[in-house]
């Protein structure tokens, strides 16, 4: 994690907590801020930053625009302009309960009164940390994990995360890379206790961000039984549950399990930002059978409410099963599948190892061969190199990965944007690595031309690779001269 400008002065106007918030900045937030200040747009800002770092679905705007323009979205009743129940309007609670009952395949109908709606899943994480943990308590979380959860649980409540490290190389009984097991949970819990930490909960991401793993029912039950044994709450984030795009893979929701080991300590999160491709509509929710927790969250709902008109529109979307089942969800899965296929084929051409998964908006790829040394400092340098040359990725240390060199690559954008971003990425990992391999700040004309000749006559480079190489080399040359000024002719 980055902690902002370390030279920044302590503000006398803020509390210690306020100063901590002001100076704190994670890697993901740093990249996001730079992207927002300089977004790529083919018309108004063609040299802006292309975003392969923020997990947004940009594939289905046309479908959503058409649906959101229908007349039923424009009708507003007086109740939606007045103060609501802070857990959410009752009609939205009912639709969420029905929706989750159906799409999570719950063995019995879920109860609307167990639904709490807030302005995004980040707010839900923050509220759960505040209500389940005391200050300086800790939560177990397998790493790598979506890095912003650190801020979600820590900025307000100063709750810590204790990592359960997962490794790229399978060990012991593992059958896949980065596999979570009960044994690893047990070992991390013991380590936490030795460190004097009071562990109150376990966070599970299913489907997993950034790995793309989907837990089986057997795995979920074993994790829940572990938590019950140690009297831990389990927070299960299922925000990508409808983004499993391979029809042969099956998502198993915790809510589909018949007879949870400890229902009073099991809480399931979901939101519309991913599945419905509307990250700007801040609406997340949690389902819990723990009435005490629901009451506590109700108190915090005053600070995390969702505007009435937004709640109304979400009611219309969730109850429109014809549109969801016949139009939006099938087409969304189809577009996810196509974009994913394009990206993995490009990674294969570059001989970049990656996890081949079929859930979420991202690919977890190993770029460690492009590091001068396999250190997190070099990983951060590579990340900054991409960002400097207008491609935002997310590096592994932003997800607390224990092995340097892993990057999360978002593929849920239009094809031409993927192609442009990949061409720039290719330039800054392939050309310098293959032809220069130098730490010098200047590149001679002789070395430059030798690089071109080596690329053109390379015996293993087919016609398509020739074309792509020359194109990317030309762009790289232009960027090098304009941005870095380090080409000496």
d(CA 173, CA 72): 54
Residue 264 and residue 146 share a domain = yes
Residue 134 and residue 204 share a domain = yes
pLDDT of residue 326: 96
Contact 310, 283 (CB under 8 A): yes
pLDDT of residue 448: 40
Residue 135 and residue 35 share a domain = no
- CB-hemisphere CA count at 13 Å for 194? 6
Residue 113 and residue 256 share a domain = yes
* Residue 120 resides in a domain: yes
* Residue 9 resides in a domain: no
Residue 304 and residue 419 share a domain = no
Domain-terminating residue out of 324, 345, 371: 324
Which residues, at least 6 apart from 231, have a Cβ–Cβ distance to it below 8 Å?
265
d(CA 313, CA 305): 15
Residue 415 and residue 442 share a domain = yes
Domain-terminating residue out of 324, 348, 372: 324
* Residue 349 resides in a domain: no
CATH number for the domain spanning 404: value is 3.90.1150
d(CA 317, CA 61): 15
Q: How many residues does the chain have?
A: 489
Residue 298 and residue 367 share a domain = no
* Residue 240 resides in a domain: yes
Domain-terminating residue out of 296, 324, 352: 324
Task: Give first-to-last CA distance, the chain, whole Å.
Answer: 40
Rounded to 10 degrees, the C-alpha dihedral 171/172/175/177 comes to -20
CA angle 93, 97, 99 (to 5 degrees): 115
* Residue 337 resides in a domain: no
* Residue 4 resides in a domain: no
pLDDT digits (tens, 9 = 90+) for 46-68: 999 999 999 999 999 999 999 99
Q: Mind listing the pLDDT tens digit of every residue in the chain (489 residues)? A: 444 444 568 899 999 889 988 888 789 989 999 999 999 998 999 999 999 999 999 999 999 999 999 999 988 889 999 988 999 999 999 999 999 999 999 999 999 999 999 999 999 999 999 999 999 899 999 999 999 999 999 999 999 999 999 999 988 777 899 999 999 999 999 999 999 999 999 999 999 999 999 999 999 999 999 999 999 999 999 999 999 998 888 999 999 999 999 999 999 999 999 989 999 999 999 999 999 999 999 999 999 999 999 999 999 999 999 999 999 999 999 999 999 999 999 999 989 999 999 999 999 999 999 999 999 999 999 999 999 999 999 999 999 999 999 999 999 999 989 998 888 877 766 554 544 343 433 333 344 434 444 444 444 444 454 455 555 555 544 444 444 444 333
Q: For residue 415, with 0-12 CB atoms within 10 Å meaning exposed, 13-18 middle and 19 or more buried, which class applies?
A: exposed
- Number of structural domains the chain divides into: 2
Residue 313 and residue 198 share a domain = yes
Residue 392 and residue 275 share a domain = no
pLDDT of residue 171: 81
Which phi and psi angles does 128 have, rounded to 5°?
A: -65, -40
Residue 182 and residue 41 share a domain = no
pTM for the model? 0.87
pLDDT of residue 430: 59
pLDDT of residue 435: 42
Give the domain range for residue 482. Answer: 16-55+361-488
pLDDT of residue 373: 94
Residue 68 and residue 47 share a domain = no
**Across-strand partners of 165?**
143
Which residues, at least 6 apart from 126, have a Cβ–Cβ distance to it below 8 Å?
152, 153, 155, 156, 157
* Residue 370 resides in a domain: yes
* Residue 236 resides in a domain: yes
DSSP string, 369-422: GG-SSSSHHHHHHHHHHHHHTTEE-EEGGGGT-SSTTEEEEE--S-HHHHHHHH
Residue 426 and residue 313 share a domain = no
CATH number for the domain spanning 164: value is 3.40.640.10
pLDDT of residue 75: 83
């Amino acid at each position: 994690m980055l902690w902002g400008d370390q030279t920044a002065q302590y503000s006398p106007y803020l509390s210690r907590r306020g100063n901590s918030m002001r100076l704190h900045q994670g890697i993901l937030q740093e990249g996001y801020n730079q992207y927002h200040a300089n977004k790529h747009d083919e018309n108004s800002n063609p040299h802006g930053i292309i975003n392969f770092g923020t997990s947004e679905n940009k594939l289905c705007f046309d479908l959503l625009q058409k649906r959101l323009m229908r007349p039923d979205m424009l009708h507003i009743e007086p109740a939606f302009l007045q103060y609501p129940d802070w857990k959410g309007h009752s009609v939205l609670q009912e639709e969420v309960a029905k929706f989750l009952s159906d799409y999570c395949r719950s063995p019995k109908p879920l109860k609307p009164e167990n639904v709490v709606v807030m302005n995004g899943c980040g707010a839900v994480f923050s509220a759960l940390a505040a209500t389940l943990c005391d200050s300086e308590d800790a939560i177990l979380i397998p790493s790598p994990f979506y890095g912003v959860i650190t801020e979600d649980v820590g900025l307000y409540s100063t709750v810590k995360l204790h990592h359960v490290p997962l490794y790229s190389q399978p060990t012991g009984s593992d059958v896949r890379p980065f596999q979570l097991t009960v044994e690893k949970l047990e070992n991390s819990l013991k380590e936490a206790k030795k460190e004097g930490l009071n562990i109150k909960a376990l966070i599970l991401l299913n489907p997993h961000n950034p790995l793309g793993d989907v837990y089986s029912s057997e795995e979920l039950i074993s994790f829940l039984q572990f938590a019950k044994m140690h009297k831990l709450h389990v927070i299960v984030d299922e925000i990508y549950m409808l983004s499993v795009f391979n029809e042969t893979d099956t998502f198993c929701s915790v809510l589909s399990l018949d007879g949870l080991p400890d229902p009073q300590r099991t809480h399931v999160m979901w939101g519309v930002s991913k599945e419905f491709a509307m990250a700007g509509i801040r609406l997340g929710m949690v389902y819990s059978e723990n009435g005490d927790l629901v009451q506590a969250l109700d108190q915090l709902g005053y600070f995390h409410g969702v505007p009435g008109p937004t709640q109304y529109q979400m009611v219309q979307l969730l109850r429109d099963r014809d549109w969801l089942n016949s139009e939006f969800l099938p087409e969304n899965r189809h577009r996810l599948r196509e974009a994913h296929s394009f990206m993995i084929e490009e990674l294969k051409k570059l001989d970049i190892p990656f996890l081949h998964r079929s859930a979420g908006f991202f690919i977890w790829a190993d770029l460690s061969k492009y590091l001068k040394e396999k250190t997190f400092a070099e990983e951060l340098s590579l990340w900054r190199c991409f960002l400097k040359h207008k491609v935002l990725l997310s590096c592994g240390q932003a997800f607390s990965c224990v092995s340097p060199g892993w990057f999360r690559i978002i593929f849920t954008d239009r094809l031409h944007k993927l192609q442009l971003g990949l061409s720039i990425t290719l330039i800054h990992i392939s050309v310098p690595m293959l032809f220069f391999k130098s730490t010098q700040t200047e590149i001679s004309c002789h070395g430059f031309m030798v690089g071109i000749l080596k690329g053109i006559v390379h015996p293993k480079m087919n016609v398509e690779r020739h074309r792509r190489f020359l194109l990317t080399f030309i762009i790289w040359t232009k960027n090098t001269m304009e941005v870095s000024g380090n080409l000496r002719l």
